[in-house]
Chains A and B, each alone.
Chain A
């Protein structure tokens, strides 16, 4: 199974579980409250099951493939150019690494607060992810910190999260 098809399969499974959990939970409410969640939930479950079967037998899924330019009678190849708006292949490894950086950045904000986490993140990202020199990374971190401080703290008078280590408190989840 290709990476793409495996990814699609697992996404269907996650959606299926989400909808299934919602359907089960919906029965805790009175009939009018649960009507729409039930209808939509069952609709999602049916489509997901059909799509999972369709992934196994591509002829089924192909029936639902749509190309709007086909309606105009264009060459089917034209539309594929739309998605590749910028040159270059997308590296899956790099993009998933970025996802990890984002989660790390969120963790840093929770622990250290915005005003410390922002320059740290910008510096680390440019230096180690972008493999750019120390000086440029440091300069970029300072500029972004300046922008955040000037626009949020000074201009908008917003109190940014201070971080758990510096007295910030997490609101109830």
Chain B
């Protein structure tokens, strides 16, 4: 049964990854309502199947068509496509599959090593520490704000604000509903996510009508060549994977940045950087190892503190809530089994993807020739129906439309959606931990600064804030001076 759910997820993940414009987040968001009523473990295997397969799925059109299936595969095009044109398509695909698969396994191995340590720390956590960790996570919105920090902070603040609508279990009062009964339960998370991620992408895709690419490069070469190349570049692979893991741990940053940073570092440290971008296999390794290993890193804040490490993790947290799995520190304390199911599922998904992905890559690449005009209304209908079935409330479908329009406006105006989502997810636990802390201390704010872990986290938060703003300002000023 487990394999069935995993394979189903892998199949969906590969298809969504390969279709340019769609991503793993879209697949996860739409898939969540279908898992309602499933055993939590089966649902987790299904989700890990999607997450494990989507990255490789995205690399197939990047290599064969010079069109990345998803943004985190963008750097794969630079060297993957020239390799394919040179007649080394199979070698590039094997490199992508093996770097992706092994990178993810390395990322998860790091997670497994960290789990006991995290558990030990979390056992010492009380509400003040949790409050400080969440504050730290919210501040990481700054990191997630590619583009403009202010827009990231405003989006994050708005996310917190909207999360406060409805019944506050902490105080037992209903806030900001303006007479609406529907809002008593707050804005529902999963329909909002479906709107923000799936519908937004579908709206954006509709602006690029028709099929993306019509012709596919022939898949030639030997599988062994790719594996040998990876073995010859093991140091690059390990370095790139660790860049991915590190980037993954920072909440909200995600695979796109991991992909580019790893590529840039790889090129800068290479003995022959002039060959990068012209079909150097090292470019594929650097890019693919990082964008898959980031999942292991992103799971660290997700499972330990309930702070989403990436957009996929934000949706995954929504899925956990649906299945009654406690998120935040309680997850690692009381649902360690689910954490290990996640790890095992992701390892298996990556291995399965690597094995079958290479053999079906030609078919996956052909998906890009499907006219998206057929996909858009079909997926919209499924997304609407899926959102409705969660609570059989038609207004939830309205929230999907609202989320879609909001997400699209955010994208067009360069407001980071992920910052908004992080704020929305963390708003309620942020307020709860703050008030629980004050209840413990009898109303004294000193509780946040007199407990060692809490104080340490506060210092770390201030340092991150200083680091986040000052060097970038300095760099911007430097660049202006150079211009």
Chain A interfacial positions (CB closer than 8 Å to B) = 4, 7-8, 11-12, 15, 18-19, 22, 25, 29-30, 32-33, 36-37, 40-41, 43-44, 47-48, 50-51, 54, 61-74, 76, 78-79, 81-83, 85-92, 94-95, 97-99, 102-103, 105-106, 109-110, 114, 118, 121-122, 125-126, 129-130, 132, 136, 140, 143-144, 147-148, 151-152, 156, 158-161, 168, 170-173
Bound-state Cα–Cα, A48 to B397, Å: 30
Question: Which residues of chain B are near A109, meaning CB under 8 Å?
Answer: 384, 394, 397
| B360 on interface, CB distance cutoff 8 Å | no
Q: Are B176 and A25 in contact (CB under 8 A)?
A: yes
Q: Are A125 and B376 in contact (CB under 8 A)?
A: yes
| B444 on interface, CB distance cutoff 8 Å | no
Question: Which residues of chain B are near A161, meaning CB under 8 Å?
Answer: 388, 392, 394, 397
Q: Are A130 and B371 in contact (CB under 8 A)?
A: yes
Q: Are A36 and B473 in contact (CB under 8 A)?
A: no
Q: Are B385 and A114 in contact (CB under 8 A)?
A: yes
Question: Which residues of chain A are near B401, meaning CB under 8 Å?
Answer: 102-103, 106
A-B contact count (CB 8 A): 260
Q: Are B149 and A102 in contact (CB under 8 A)?
A: no
Closest B residue, CB atoms, query A157: B37
Closest A residue, CB atoms, query B165: A22
How far apart are A20's CB and chain B's nearest CB, in angstroms?
Answer: 11
Question: Which residues of chain A are near B142, meaning CB under 8 Å?
Answer: 66
How far apart are A32's CB and chain B's nearest CB, in angstroms?
Answer: 7
How far apart are A161's CB and chain B's nearest CB, in angstroms?
Answer: 5
A40, A63, A73, A88: the one contacting B473 at CB < 8 Å is: A63
How far apart are B283's CB and chain A's nearest CB, in angstroms?
Answer: 12
Q: Are B71 and A126 in contact (CB under 8 A)?
A: no
Bound-state Cα–Cα, A103 to B188, Å: 19
How far apart are B308's CB and chain A's nearest CB, in angstroms?
Answer: 18
Closest B residue, CB atoms, query A70: B475
Question: Which residues of chain B are near A61, meaning CB under 8 Å?
Answer: 148, 150
Query: Assuming the A-B contacts A144-B378, A172-B181, are A67 and B268 also in contact, with contact meaning beta carbons closer than 8 angstroms in the complex?
Result: no
Question: Which residues of chain A are near B143, meaning CB under 8 Å?
Answer: 68
How far apart are B285's CB and chain A's nearest CB, in angstroms?
Answer: 17
The binding surface of chain B is classed by DSSP as helix
Q: Are B260 and A158 in contact (CB under 8 A)?
A: no
Among B425-443, those with CB < 8 Å from A are: 430-431, 434-435, 438
Q: Are B206 and A98 in contact (CB under 8 A)?
A: yes
Q: Given A40-B161, A82-B256, A102-B380, list of 13 further CB < 8 A pairs?
A: A11-B413, A15-B158, A44-B157, A85-B73, A91-B209, A94-B207, A97-B206, A99-B203, A99-B408, A126-B377, A140-B377, A140-B378, A144-B378
Closest A residue, CB atoms, query B173: A33
Closest B residue, CB atoms, query A103: B401
Q: Are B213 and A37 in contact (CB under 8 A)?
A: no
For this complex, 15 residue pairs linking A to B, each with C-beta atoms less than 8 Å apart, are: A32-B171, A44-B154, A44-B157, A47-B157, A66-B146, A68-B261, A72-B261, A72-B268, A86-B21, A86-B208, A90-B204, A95-B204, A114-B388, A126-B377, A130-B209
Q: Are B161 and A19 in contact (CB under 8 A)?
A: yes
Question: Which residues of chain B are near A78, meaning CB under 8 Å?
Answer: 260, 264
Q: Are B415 and A11 in contact (CB under 8 A)?
A: yes
Bound-state Cα–Cα, A109 to B397, Å: 9
A97, A110, A132: the one contacting B394 at CB < 8 Å is: A110
Q: Give 10 nearest A-B pairs by CB, closest first.
A: A130-B373, A90-B207, A98-B206, A86-B20, A74-B264, A125-B377, A95-B207, A158-B389, A88-B208, A64-B149
Bound-state Cα–Cα, A173 to B397, Å: 13
Among B121-179, those with CB < 8 Å from A are: 142-143, 145-151, 153-154, 157-158, 160-161, 164, 168, 171, 173, 175-176, 178
| B404 on interface, CB distance cutoff 8 Å | yes
A43, A89, A114, A159: the one contacting B157 at CB < 8 Å is: A43
Bound-state Cα–Cα, A65 to B146, Å: 8
Q: Are B373 and A152 in contact (CB under 8 A)?
A: no
Q: Mark B370-400, 1 if CB is under 8 A from A, else 0.
A: 0101101110111011001100111101100
Q: Are A98 and B260 in contact (CB under 8 A)?
A: no
B148, B158, B180, B264: the one contacting A64 at CB < 8 Å is: B148
Question: Which residues of chain A are near B67, meaning CB under 8 Å?
Answer: 85-87
Question: Which residues of chain A are near B231, meaning CB under 8 Å?
Answer: none
Question: Which residues of chain B are near A82, meaning CB under 8 Å?
Answer: 71, 74, 256, 260
